[in-house]
A and B are shown apart, each in its own frame.
Chain A
Amino acid sequence: MSRVVKKAPSLCTDLPLDNTDICNKLQILEQLLRSCFGPTGRLKQVHNNIGGHVVTTSSSSVLLPAISSPQPFINLIITSIRNHVSRFSDCGLFAAILCLALIEQAKQTGVSGNVAIRLNKHFLGLCTSYLHQEDCGCKVKLDFCSSHNLITLAHSVISSKPASVPTEPEALHISKLAVQAFLLTVPCNSPGIVSLGRIVTVSVEGQCVLDSAVFPGLLVELPDVFGTFKVENLSSNPLRMVLFTVSLAGDLSELGNGTIEVHCGADTDSQILDQLLEIGKQVVKDEVKLFMCQKVIHPVLQQFLRSHGITVIERLGITLMEPLTQLTGAQPVATLHTTIPLKAYGNVRGLSFRQFGSKTMLHLLPPGESVICTMVLCHRNETMLSELKVVCQKTEHVLRLTLREPSALLGGGCTETHLAAYIKHKSMNDIIETASVLGCSQTEYLLSMKAFCRSLESVATALEHDGGNSLIGLTYAHHWTLPADAIQEHMEDSLVRCGCGLVESSPNMKWSYLNTKYPEFSPAPLSRDTAVLPRVLDSFTAKLNALQVAVETANIALDIRYIIQDMN
């Protein structure tokens, strides 16, 4: 059969950044993403053309996969950002907006591609080395003795995704839960290599967000509750349990590809069942109280075990196996014919039922101190619940990142304006030698520096969606927002606090609008006043990487001179 189809020649585009179609698309993408940014960001509804779920979201991890363009140039940028989001869970929109702004600004300056790329790289280097400095003005050390900063960090992540939690008390509740769950997964006293535990998320639809809770141990969903369950709560001595990964339904899967001829009268089924019951007898003899299986258990075996007062749970699924073994210390059994060694058994301290709306769950309490916990998330409807789940996973990830690098960056646009002011100041000082080292003219250097700073500042301005104006404080270079209804003459009265909440308004302060020209100045470091705590914090690791990804992606985009699209 000839399946040879002639290959269509490829579609070529020369110099994509001069192409109006691509430029328009970039602009639309930037507007779309800017409108989602921050706690007051506008929500987007995503639905496909064949009538699937409608997803309401403003978070980059859901939004970016939904945007796919036939134009590979756009897709390239989106893929880069998505890769960042999948690694760091946070600052995806920041990276995307910064990247698109950098491309647009670089195009406007008219500096030739290669020079612009080199200079962007240089400014990125300035930023990262500044952020790593001890005396960096926009970094906050995280103190694990107090949960305040952790909760602030979690709250900033959660409140920046307004689709999940609409009200402030709810956001605070979820932030506290996230921090609590995170702390439960950190082992307390294990020296050497620390391995973090796990948060198992169970979602319950139809309940109020404030009903969400965190439990140590595992909650296993029970599909149907028979009256046969008799749960004892023996808190004094732990219950012995066994965990099977192999199917106990009476099938033999590992036999091979040969054929089996069954002669008349041979009763293989009963033979296998006998073997299964052998296991049952051993388990009863070893005083096991909880019998769990990843796959299906033969009803006869189930009946046998229940009649001996054993709680039986089947069809657990592969996802619960790892947390279960961690929680109970059991070794999963996959052999049918060998006797179960004693060390394969695990323990739970007790069992209890928990009811969440329509769902009944069996709560397995850890035998000792455990790093496994379950987070029950409740929300009114499915869309918001799935968004809440995404948000909680992200928060967990962001909190985990703090273990590696215990610092955070000031949120609310303050880091961006501060960095922009720092770069302006720093590069004005040594413009002559740097320009010659980088092999460009001073004009090119200045133009690129302005483009870079403007891009950073434009991310800060994207936080405002209600027609307010963005300002920069001329002392600390923090970001301030002037509400739209403020009167120009009494600007000072309307400005109470900067974006991150560290700087309060004082009479001799000066501001400048972000999109206007202001004199370069050295941003003053804040006096370390412990009484004032920041109100918005961003993950240091995630934001630093986002900054790098944004600049590198922009550089790649600027470097592309030709596009070849395979049309097959």
Chain B
Amino acid sequence: MGMPPVEHLHLKHVLQTVCALEAVVVRCFGPEGGQVLFTRDTGQVMLSRSGTRILTALQLEHPLARMVVECVWKHSTNTGDGSKTFIILLASLLRMIHSMACKDPNVSHTYNSREAAEAATARHLAGKLLAFASEELDDLIAVRVVPHGCCLSWEDFTAKTQSPAHTNTSNVKKLVESFIHTRLGRIHCDLIADLICELLTDWKFKNDPPSLSLQFVNDNFPALHTPVSGFPISCSRLIEGQVLHRDFTTPSHQTDHQPVKAVVFTGYLQPQLLNAGDVLEMMEDDTRKERSIVQFSAWAERSLECVFANLQNLGVSVLLSAVKQSDAVLTLAKQAEICVVECVSEDELSLFAHLSGATPVSDCWMIQPEHVATLTFCRPILLGAHRYVHVAFHDSEEGAVVRPCSIVICGPGEGQTDQYACAFQDAIRMLLRTWEPIHMTATTVSARTFLSHKISSEVMDNQNDKITSASYNASLFQKCMLEPGCVIHDGGTFEFLLHHALLQHGHNRSVSDHTDESVPAISQLLANALLSVPQQIYSHSPRRFLQIQTRVLTSIQNHFHPFILDAGLESVSCKYQLVLAVLQCVTNLFRVDTMLHTNTRSHTRSRRFTKNISLEGKEDETED
């Protein structure tokens, strides 16, 4: 074997790849963006505005592009948001670095080609950027961006339900609305945001931090939602209790008596007489009738009858089973007037067990009262083309706090319903990230407070305002870290603010005598790259871009943060994580300098074919 073909990666290749991705993503970015239709290899048609979905659907071949897609995927599974912004910011950063590296005269002479020198500069810049961002970005955001936003309180949810005619719609709803707007378009965002807020209100654990109940909804989302296709999305709604996505196997008895008692089975009720490996011997049976095969299966049926007698004693009228039961079980259940629901998925059963407080039965000989769940009702529900089982839970200790409910997501087709469901879950994930406390070790905390001291003093220098400085300082101490639930206006406000903050920061650093003189350049680079996001948002009207920029700048100068009622919101913590993730991706991209194309058999089909034949021939021989 010779050396595999080598391809040196140049800066411009990286740039080209990412720009190609950007070209796709901008079609569905921002308020004027549309949908992307794509087909899967199974022929299924999907519609999406979700950046991750689109990028993975491209089935890219270029290793660099795949690396970028992987980074985006990792970021968005973490935050549920920002995949399109990721690509746009990445492309803009790469362009900046490229142009900077190309015109940089201080190229060291140790490199033998211009390309290598450029790549080295770029690598160097990327490293600097990442170092700068991971050290100082969070403080910059905390001091200069967060004061322009506001902190969401978890009580926003309850406020909404207490007074439906609340004129000032809750900030949580606005946050969700803006998210849905970027994901599904403007038409439905009001409706869906309402649904999500209602869902979260119902699922609120009173005494726990918000992130816990968000985590719970996020984890159980597959069991909590029912996609229904063939209906307009406006038919989506919340329903009380849980929907088991199966129909009754035996017809349900519509009885009015409450409560309904149910038992969950994970295994077969009818005992498996002969397990694999067991041997049943059939003897001459005239004398020993009790060992005949008929007796054997008769015993099995009788044991079943005992189980059902036990169930009837416990007053059970619903059986939920994880597996398919035998015909005999169904007949006996019917005779005992017990309805059976078979093949319920594991997720749903575990949620059911959690909500009802009953443990599933594994050994059907040992059914105790603690296995019996008490329900207010258990009835069929018709959702779209399917009939499911709808259960509602009695108020237990936990039930007094949460109102269990499920969500029905309607859409005209399967692809759309899927997309809506994805957007729902990502919205919940985004809220979760917004509220999640950012974990920091003790040393970094102290280091950060020190840093933010420095920055806050800079701020005060700029302000030259001694009257307010005391109070400002106090508030700075409180706000030096990213608080959970921090949000800011959308439409590029974050980018404008951070842009301004970075420029100021760079300026201050260059004035004060710090050792690292590259900081101004680095922060300027990042600042300019950030501007590309609002530029893309207002690509249809550059005038609007300038208007918004002016508005943000005036608000910085006046230290007055007008809270515009109709504007949407976005999460600061998600944005912060986005910037960090992009910078990490940039560094990763520049670390690679060469691609080795190795040859495996799958690349050339004809050769692989002949090899397979010879292999099979060998196998045949060995088997013989």
Q: Which residues of B contact A562 (CB under 8 A)?
A: 24, 27-28, 34-37, 54
Given the known A-B contacts A6-B603, A259-B278, are A274 and B232 also in contact in the complex, defined by CB atoms under 8 Å? no
What is the interface of chain B mostly: helix, strand, loop, or mixed?
A: mixed
The yes or no answer to B207 lying at the interface (CB within 8 A) is no
Interface residues of A in 527-568 (CB under 8 A from B): 545, 548-549, 552-553, 555-556, 559-568
Cβ-closest chain B residue relative to A553: B412
Residues of B within 8 A of A275 (CB): 294, 298
Taking the nearest CB of chain B, how far is it from the CB of A404, in angstroms?
A: 11
Q: Is B281 an interface residue (CB 8 A)?
A: yes
Asked if A564 meets B297 with Cβ closer than 8 Å, knowing A79-B414, A259-B274, A335-B331, the reply is no
- B438 adjacent to chain A (CB < 8 Å): no
Q: A83-B412, A566-B40 are in contact. Are A254 and B282 (CB under 8 A)?
A: no
Across-interface contacts of A565 in B (CB, < 8 A): 38-39
Q: For B32, give its contact among A9, A114, A268, A331 (CB under 8 Å).
A: A114
CB–CB B37/A73 < 8 A: yes
- Which residues of the other chain, B, contact A563 by a CB distance below 8 angstroms? 36-38
Could you tell me the distance in whole angstroms from the C-beta of B552 to the nearest C-beta in chain A? 22
B273–chain A nearest beta-carbon distance, Å: 5
- CA of A562 to CA of B605 in the docked complex: distance in angstroms? 32
Contacts of B332 in A (CB 8 A): 335
Q: What per-residue 1/0 map shows which CB atoms of A254-296 lie under 8 Å from chain B? A: 1111111111111110011011000000000000000000000
Q: A16-B37, A118-B186 are contacts. A256–B275 as well, Cβ < 8 Å?
A: yes
Q: A79-B413, A261-B282, A331-B331 are in contact. Are A254 and B297 (CB under 8 A)?
A: yes
> B108 on the interface (CB 8 Å rule)?
no
Chain A residue numbers with a CB within 8 Å of B605 are 5
| B35 engages A559 (CB within 8 Å) | yes
CB of B34 within 8 A of CB of A560, answer yes
> Please, how many angstroms separate the alpha-carbon atoms of A334 and B58 in the complex?
53
> Does B270 belong to the interface (CB within 8 Å)?
yes
A192 within 8 A of B: yes
Complex Cα distance, B416 from A296, in Å, reads 45
Residues of B within 8 Å of A83, CB to CB, are 229-230, 412-414
Given contacts A245-B327, A548-B232, A555-B187, contact A10 B335 (CB under 8 A): no
B285–A257 touching, CB < 8 Å: no
Q: Is B60 an interface residue (CB 8 A)?
A: yes
User: Are A556 and B35 also in contact (CB < 8 A) when A12-B24, A331-B334, A338-B305 are?
Assistant: yes
Q: Which residues in B have their C-beta under 8 angstroms from that of A1?
A: 612, 615
Q: Is B328 a contact of A254 with CB atoms below 8 Å?
A: yes
Interface residue B131 (Cβ < 8 Å from any Cβ of A)? no
| CB of A150 within 8 Å of the partner chain | no
| Set of chain B residues within 8 Å of A262, measured between Cβ atoms | 282
By a CB distance below 8 angstroms, the chain B residues around A9 are 58-61
Q: When the two chains form their complex, are residues A332 and B293 in contact, meaning their CB atoms are under 8 A apart? A: no
In the complex, whether B415 has a CB less than 8 A from a CB of chain A is yes
| CB 8 Å contact bits of B44-58 with A (1 = contact, 0 = none) | 010100000010011
Q: Does B280 contact A (CB under 8 A)?
A: yes
**Contact at B280–A560, with CB atoms within 8 Å?**
no
B291's nearest neighbour on chain A, judged by CB, is: A266
Judge if A193 is at the interface, Cβ distance under 8 Å.
yes
Expressed in whole angstroms, the minimum distance between the Cβ of B184 and any Cβ of chain A is 10
Tell me whether A75 is interfacial, beta carbon within 8 Å: yes
Cβ A334 vs Cβ B331 within 8 A = yes
Interface assignment of A386: CB less than 8 Å from any CB of chain B:
no
Question: Which residues of B in the span 383-417 have a Cβ within 8 Å of any Cβ on A?
Answer: 384-385, 412-416
CB pair A564 B57 closer than 8 Å:
yes
Say yes or no: A549-B294 contact (C-beta < 8 A), given A9-B59, A255-B274, A335-B331.
Answer: no
Q: Is A87's CB under 8 angstroms from B230's CB?
A: yes
Is the CB–CB distance between B45 and A265 below 8 Å? no
Tell me if A86 counts as interface (CB < 8 A to partner B): yes
Which residue of the partner chain, among A261, A333, A335, A566, contacts B279 with CB atoms under 8 Å? A261
Q: Is the CB of A256 within 8 A of B282?
A: no
Whether a CB of chain A sits under 8 angstroms from the CB of B276 is: yes
A490 to B67, CA, bound (A): 75
Q: Who on chain B is nearest to A79 by CB? A: B413
Q: Fill in one digit per residue for B253-296: 1 if any A CB lies within 8 Å of its CB, else 0.
A: 01000000000000000101111111111111100000011101
A564 contacts B278, CB within 8 Å?
no
Complex CA–CA separation, A265 to B284 (angstroms): 5
Contact between chains at B273 and A258 (CB < 8 Å): yes
Q: Determine whether A418 belongs to the interface, using a CB cutoff of 8 Å to chain B.
A: no
Q: Are A255 and B54 interface neighbours, CB within 8 A?
A: no
In contact, A333 and B331 (Cβ under 8 angstroms): yes
Least CB separation from B31: chain A residue: A114
- Nearest B residue to A8 via CB reads B59
- Tell me whether A10 and B275 are in contact (CB under 8 A): no
Q: Which residues of A from 1 to 57 have beta carbons under 8 Å from B?
A: 1-2, 4-10, 12, 14-16
Complex alpha-carbon distance, A82 and B216, angstroms: 36
**Cβ contacts under 8 Å, A548 to chain B:** 232
Residue B302 interfacial (CB < 8 Å): yes
Q: Across the two chains, which residue of chain A brings its CB closest to B272?
A: A256
Task: Report Cα–Cα, A270/B292, bound state, in Å.
Answer: 11
Given contacts A121-B187, A337-B301, whether A259 and B37 have CB atoms under 8 Å apart is no
Q: How far is the CA of A76 from the CA of B35 in the complex (A)?
A: 13
Residues of chain A within 8 A (CB-CB) of B127 are none
| Closest A residue to B289 using CB positions | A271
Instruction: Give residues 229-274 of A contacting B (CB, 8 Å).
Output: 245-246, 252, 254-268, 271-272, 274
| Inter-chain contacts of B185 with A (CB < 8 A) | 114, 117, 559
List residues of chain B with CB within 8 A of the CB of A113.
32, 34
A271-B293 contact given A83-B229, A337-B301, A552-B232, CB 8 Å threshold: yes
B297 A252 Cβ-Cβ under 8 A: yes
User: When the two chains form their complex, are residues A338 and B232 in contact, meaning their CB atoms are under 8 A apart?
Assistant: no
Taking CB atoms, residues of chain A closer than 8 Å to B54 are 562, 564
Residues in A with CB closer than 8 Å to B326 are 254, 334
**B415 touching A255, Cβ below 8 Å:** no
Question: In the complex the two chains form, is A271's CB within 8 Å of B45's CB?
Answer: no
* Pair A263/B34 contact, Cβ less than 8 Å: no
Residue in A252, A334, A545 whose beta carbon sits within 8 Å of that of B327 in the complex:
A334
Minimum Cβ distance to chain A for residue B42 (Å): 8
Q: List, in ascending order, chain B residues with CB within 8 A of A271's CB.
A: 285, 292-294
Give Cα A246–Cα B413 distance, bound, in whole angstroms: 39
Establish whether residues A337 and B45, one from each chain, have CB atoms under 8 Å apart when the complex forms: no
Question: Which B-chain residue is minimally distant from A276 (CB atoms)?
Answer: B294
Determine whether the beta carbon of B284 is less than 8 Å from that of A266: yes
By a CB distance below 8 angstroms, the chain B residues around A142 are: none
Residues of A within 8 Å of B32, CB to CB, are 112-114
Shortest CB distance A253–B (Å): 8
Taking the closest CB of chain A, its distance from the CB of B333, in whole angstroms, is 10
For residue B331, which residues in chain A have a CB less than 8 angstroms away from its CB? 245-246, 331-335
- For A83, A112, A341, A548, the residue with the greatest tally of chain B CB atoms inside 10 Å of its CB is A83
Sorted from nearest, which 4 A-B pairs have the closest CB atoms? A258-B274, A561-B34, A334-B327, A258-B278
* A interface residue numbers (CB < 8 A to B): 1-2, 4-10, 12, 14-16, 72-73, 75-76, 79-80, 83-84, 86-87, 112-114, 117-118, 121, 192-193, 245-246, 252, 254-268, 271-272, 274-275, 331-338, 341, 343-344, 545, 548-549, 552-553, 555-556, 559-568
- Residues of chain B having any CB pair with chain A under 8 Å: 24, 27-28, 31-41, 45, 47, 54, 57-61, 185-187, 229-233, 254, 270, 272-285, 292-294, 296-298, 300-302, 305, 326-328, 330-332, 334-335, 384-385, 412-416, 600-603, 605, 608, 612, 615
A-B contact pairs, 27 of them (CB 8 A): A6-B603, A14-B27, A15-B27, A75-B45, A79-B414, A83-B230, A113-B32, A118-B187, A254-B270, A255-B274, A257-B272, A258-B273, A258-B280, A259-B278, A260-B293, A263-B282, A263-B284, A266-B284, A267-B285, A271-B294, A337-B294, A338-B302, A556-B35, A562-B27, A562-B37, A564-B24, A568-B41
**What would 17 more interface pairs be, CB under 8 Å, given A245-B330, A549-B232?**
A1-B612, A6-B61, A76-B413, A76-B415, A83-B413, A246-B327, A246-B328, A254-B297, A256-B278, A258-B277, A259-B274, A334-B330, A335-B328, A336-B301, A552-B233, A560-B47, A561-B34
